[in-house]
Amino acid sequence: MAEWKTWSLGGASGKEPHGDGGGDEPGRPLPPDAAERWGTEVTPFTLERAARVVQGDGFPVTRDEAAIGVLINSLPMRLHREPADAPWAQFEARVPLPDGMEEGAPDPFDLQQTANTWNSQHLQPTVIPARSDERFFFHLSTRFFVGEGLSDRQIHLMIARGIVVTLQAARQLPGLVTPPEDA
C-alpha cells in the first residue's frame, strides 16, 4: 500500500515549491521544523483552532459555520466536522475529470473501477466517483479521529496529511480514467 511520509509537496527532494504559500515565503515548502512552532497541550478540537493553525502555516483560509476552506494549487479543499460534536473531522476535495470529459459521458463503471483500484492501493484519501449537474468528478475524503482532542501540533500534522494525500490523489486520478470512446 502506497503511503506518504512527508509534508513536502515537491517530491523526494522537498525543494519544489507548492504554490499558494505554507512556508516563510509564498510558494516555498514548509521548513522541517514547522510543526515545532505549535503547542503540544491536548484540548478539544474546534474548527476555530484548525483555522488558526492553517493560517499560521501560511495558507489563506475561508471559514463558515460548518467548515474551513483552503485553496492549494488551485484545488479547493475543506475541513468539516458534522455534527459539531462528531468524533471525526473530514478533509474533502472534488477532483474534476480530465479536459474533454467534464461534459462527456464517461463510463460510470470505469470511474467506479478507478476509485476501487485507488481505494485498495491507498489508505487515504477515500475516492468516490460522483456526478453533479451532468458533470462527473471524484470526491476525495480523508477522515481523522478528533474525539479525544488534539494539540495544535497534531492539528498541524492532520492538516498537512490531508493536503498532501489530497494533492497526490488529485495529480494521479485524472490520468487513471479512460476517456469515452467518442472523445
Instruction: Write out pLDDT tens, residues 133-152.
Output: 778 899 999 999 999 999 99
pLDDT of residue 133: 79
**Do 152 and 48 contact (CB within 8 A), yes or no?**
no
What CA–CA distance (Å, rounded) separates 105 from 52? 41
pLDDT at 32: 55
Residues of the chain with pLDDT under 70: 1-35, 99-106, 178-183
- How is residue 180 written as a grid cell? 469515452
Structural domains of the chain in order of their starting residue, each with its CATH number:
41-176 (3.30.1460.10)
Residue 28 has a pLDDT of 46
Would you state the cell numbers that stand for residue 121, as one nine-digit string? Answer: 492501493
Residue 122 makes CB contacts below 8 A (sequence gap 6+) with 1, 2, 3, 165, 169
Q: Cα separations (Å) of 170 from 49, 84, 87, 98, 167?
A: 26, 28, 26, 11, 5
